[in-house]
Amino acid sequence: MDSLREIVSPYVVELLLGMMIVQFILVIVVLVNWIKFRRIRQQQKRLLRGVTRENLEHLIHEYTRSVHEAERQLDEAAVQLDELNRKMSALKGKIGLVRYNALAEQGNNLSFSLALVDEEQNGVVISSLYGRHQTYAYAKPVVRGTSEYSLSKEEKEAIALAVGEKQEAYV
């Protein structure tokens, strides 16, 4: 113990000064934390003004119920969106039209082939052949971009236009 006193005794002033600096720093830290706590407490009082424990519990339950209701409505909306997407893909919304002169000596590109298909390339191709004295109309079912009936060059082109495989509209 005496040897420790002999080692520490020349540095007593520096040790005391160091301890005072550490205590001063700790006091500053305590003051800063106290000020921050006071601000938080004031914000809490403003937030909870007029709210009792029972009111707060009721508010929390009400907000929880509202969140669950919003989640349920969101799930319903997702189901409806999926149903609409399914219906939209089944619509015959893709159209291809090719006008042409079926009979070289008669008409001016008054014949046409019209393809109406959906996303899966299912639908119908309608052709009208115009002649000076007669007009013929044909409808052929289209399944996956083709038909069980033979398709003319113009009908194939109309289907290609409808499914987006071709850009030109007239032959």
Q: What is the pTM of this model?
A: 0.50
Give the residue-averaged pLDDT of 65-83: 94
Provide DSSP, 13-60.
HHHHHHHHHHHHHHHHHHHHHHHHHHHHHHHHHHHTTT--HHHHHHHH
Which is higher by pLDDT, 88 or 81?
Answer: 81
Render pLDDT for 35-55 as a digit per residue (tens, 0 to 9): 999 999 998 888 877 777 777
Render pLDDT for 93-118 as a digit per residue (tens, 0 to 9): 788 999 988 776 666 788 899 999 88
Q: What is the dihedral of CA 140, 137, 152, 124, to 10 degrees?
A: -30
Tokens of 42: 């004031």
Tokens of 76: 């319903």
**What is each CA distance from 15 to 20, 161, 166, in whole angstroms?**
9, 92, 91
pLDDT at 64 over 50: yes
pLDDT at 170 over 70: no
Per-residue pLDDT at 171: 43
Q: What does the domain layout of the chain look like in residue ranges?
A: 12-87, 94-162
